[in-house]
Amino acid sequence: EAEVAQSPRYKITEKSQAVAFWCDPISGHATLYWYRQILGQGPELLVQFQDESVVDDSQLPKDRFSAERLKGVDSTLKIQPAELGDSAMYLCASSFLGTSTYEQYFGPGTRLTVT
Amino acid sequence: AQSVTQLDSQVPVFEEAPVELRCNYSSSVSVYLFWYVQYPNQGLQLLLKYLSGSTLVKGINGFEAVFNKSQTSFHLRKPSVHISDTAEYFCAVTATDSWGKLQFGAGTQVVVTP
């Protein structure tokens, strides 16, 4: 069964350092989502791509976070500089199309710890 | 905008007993509703979804949910739980005319003991 791939699974970094996460969605899925899940909370959408275009980045802290999906396939989420409050699970999801009726498939996530 | 309230942060339950997880939502527009499960250090897996039609929705692993529009609720239940059902459960909502942006509740931790 096709899965969403994410790497690394775990990342420890010092504050003020740069960190990057990678996501490879299920083949053929045009829509890609990045969520942040703080411990004890539900996931919160950071950014949504339709192919290579951003359709929603209203909750992305743009002063330090950036996301790209250059060829409309895999995607990278970057944080620079990292802050202690960025410690969280970063989840990537993909769906066939970006409408409410299509199921989002989630990857295993990257757990980030900022020290 | 939509919001989701999961009324219980943790639900302890004995193996083979029934369980119900409560979810209320608020929205000024029509919505679709979802339940996801998350096992430790893993991503989320869809249990079931309500798009339209019957208000009783059947999902995977023996779970079902009831949509109540008048009470704006979408409660999840299972008649007999297993140890393997120990996990975090998330209720989520999205506007029917949206790009699929999910608004999640804070989650309910289910702990099944023998």
Q: Which residues of B touch A50 (CB under 8 A)?
A: 99
pLDDT tens-digit map of B52-74: 889 999 999 999 999 999 999 99
pLDDT band of residue B97 (cuts 50, 70, 90) is confident
Considering only the beta carbons, identify the residue of A41, A55, A111 that sits closest to B106.
A41
Alpha-carbon distance of B24 to B31, in angstroms, equals 12
How many residues are present in chain B?
Answer: 114
The answer to whether the CB of B109 falls within 8 A of the CB of B11 is yes
pLDDT value for B32:
92
pLDDT value for A87:
97
pLDDT value for A99:
63
What percent of chain B is predicted at pLDDT more than 70?
A: 100
Residue B36 has pLDDT above 90, yes or no: yes
- Residue B48 or A97, more confident: B48
Interface test mutation site (partner B, options A1, A9, A100, max chain B beta carbons within 10 A)? A100
Residue B78 has pLDDT above 80, yes or no: yes
Q: Which residues of A touch B25 (CB under 8 A)?
A: none
Parts of chain A with a pLDDT under 50: none
pLDDT value for A22:
98
Q: Which residues of A touch B32 (CB under 8 A)?
A: 100-101
Alpha-carbon distance of A89 to A110, in angstroms, equals 6
pLDDT value for A25:
96
| Number of Cβ atoms within 10 Å of the Cβ of A48 | 25
Alpha-carbon distance of A8 to A22, in angstroms, equals 7
Q: H or E segment at B94?
A: strand B87-95
